[in-house]
Amino acid sequence: MSDTAVATEKPKTSFRGSGGVRGWFGRQPGWVRAVVALAAAALAFLLPYVGDIPLIGPQLITEGIDWPSALFNMSYYVLLALGLNVVVGYAGLLDLGYVGFFAVGAYGTAILTSKDSVLYSHTGWAWLAAVPVALAATMLAGLILGWPTLRLRGDYLAIVTLGFAEIIRIVATNTQTFRGDRGFTGIPHPPGTWNGKVIFGVTDAIPYFWLGLVVIIAVIFGVRNLDRSRVGRSWLAIREDEEAAEIMGVRTTKFKLWAFSIGAFIGGLGGVLFAGEQGFINSSTFVLQFSILVLAGVVMGGSGNMAGAILGGALISYIPDRLRGISVGGTDLYEYRFAMFGVVIIIIMILRPQGLIPSRRRAMELKDRAKEVAPL
């Protein structure tokens, strides 16, 4: 009996991690973890004022774009990384067309609210009223994409999802309803006033960042609960071996559609926030390069781990924005942002293939594989 108890305890200790920050955090009681999480959230809300820190602050804030706007950019990139992490990291479904859901959320908001829309005479909604409809449209788009691709895996699934994003971009470019490069103007901002002043205006991006941060926190709680539920365990089984999962009774069709629709919902959240802050969208925003960049952020940060997805999403937004306005020998480094970003990804994948903050399971898998191929 004691041998059995010891055998069952060892994997648990190994999985939680015995060292490092995550190992320490995982061993703390619930109230300690809650306090640490609240402190981290409070520090995140203070990020707009990091430039006031002597010596360190001026080195961190962006120069070619105002710092609050850069923070808002990071917020919707983080949302996209969290959504794509559900599809790729949890369910193991390679999606190269994730920008399509971002576009559906943004266009859904624009069509219902912009004066340039053919539906404006019938709708003319406020931003907040359009959000539920736009998000429902993105979830429907996720189901439409997921249903025909249920039997596809790997490269074949990636090609189909890539085609999905390109179809949306081409339709948006070439149809009169979506106005192509002319786009939609006058998209209303989120509502709210304080002391008689509009909160979400055009001069200060801090409220938009705070709104994005609130949405990110809500998404983290939702995805975390899903990951620890039957849905998360089913995603894990599908990612590890879909055929074995189906044999063991996992309804793979249902849970793959769950992954696509939830990932689409989170991507749509990023789209409605983007449209509400910019006030203008057009088809040139939603290019394939966007999807590849978000996928690179998820892989670089640590696929299958929310902390890794958050870090990766923040970095793919922060690094290009930080390079704006920096010149070396008369050359603006922003022009070479993707080349530099590619070099960084290559170095990380060589030195740390599991990502900067990998999931414990993924890190253990790579460690075991390294032992298998290690020379005797």
Q: pLDDT tens digits for 262-292? A: 999 999 999 999 999 999 999 888 888 888 8
DSSP, collapsed to helix, strand or coil, labels residue 250 as coil
Q: In this predicted model, which residue has the larger pLDDT, 23 or 97?
A: 97
Q: Which is it for the CA torsion 232, 37, 10, 366, positive or negative?
A: positive
> What is the residue-wise DSSP string for 318-333?
HHHHHHTT-EETTEEG
Q: What's the pLDDT at 242?
A: 84
The type of residue at 327 is S
Q: What's the pLDDT at 287?
A: 85
Is residue 202 classed exposed, middle or buried when 0-12, 13-18 and 19+ CB atoms within 10 A define those classes? exposed
Work out the pLDDT band at 87, boundaries 50, 70, 90.
Answer: very high
> Which candidate, 310, 292, 369, places its Cα nearest to that of 97?
292
Q: What's the rounded mean pLDDT across residues 150-169?
A: 86
Residue 365 has pLDDT above 70, yes or no: no
Q: What's the pLDDT at 2?
A: 43
> Which candidate, 342, 316, 267, places its Cα nearest to that of 74?
316
Number of H helices, E strands in the chain: 16, 4
Work out the pLDDT band at 329, boundaries 50, 70, 90.
Answer: confident
Work out the pLDDT band at 13, boundaries 50, 70, 90.
Answer: very low
pTM: 0.87
The type of residue at 237 is A
What distance in Å separates the CA atoms of residue 274 and residue 105, rounded to the nearest whole number? 9
Q: What's the pLDDT at 34?
A: 85
Residue 5 has pLDDT above 60, yes or no: no
Residue 185 has pLDDT above 60, yes or no: yes
Work out the pLDDT band at 1, boundaries 50, 70, 90.
Answer: very low
Q: What's the rounded mean pLDDT across residues 301-325?
A: 89
Q: What's the rounded mean pLDDT across residues 79-88?
A: 94
Q: What's the rounded mean pLDDT across residues 322-346?
A: 81
Q: Average pLDDT of the chain? A: 85
> Which candidate, 76, 78, 120, 37, places its Cα nearest to that of 285?
76
Percent of the chain exceeding pLDDT 70 equals: 88
For residue range 212-260, list pLDDT tens digits in order: 999 999 999 999 999 889 998 999 898 888 888 888 888 888 899 999 9
Q: Of the ranges 10-24, 308-322, 328-342, which one carries the lowest mean pLDDT score?
A: 10-24
Count of CB atoms within 10 A of residue 260's CB?
27
Q: Of the ranges 46-55, 157-166, 340-349, which one carries the lowest mean pLDDT score?
A: 340-349
| Cα→Cα distances 215→18, 79, 210, 266, Å | 32, 8, 9, 10
Residue 17 has pLDDT above 50, yes or no: no
Q: What's the pLDDT at 357?
A: 86
Q: What's the pLDDT at 294?
A: 92
Q: Taking a C-beta distance cutoff of 8 angstroms, is the pair 16, 23 a contact? A: yes
What angle, 0 to 180 degrees and rounded to 10, lies between the N-to-C axes of helices 127-146 and 252-278?
150
For residue range 98-150, list pLDDT tens digits in order: 999 999 999 999 999 998 888 876 767 889 999 999 999 999 999 988 888 87
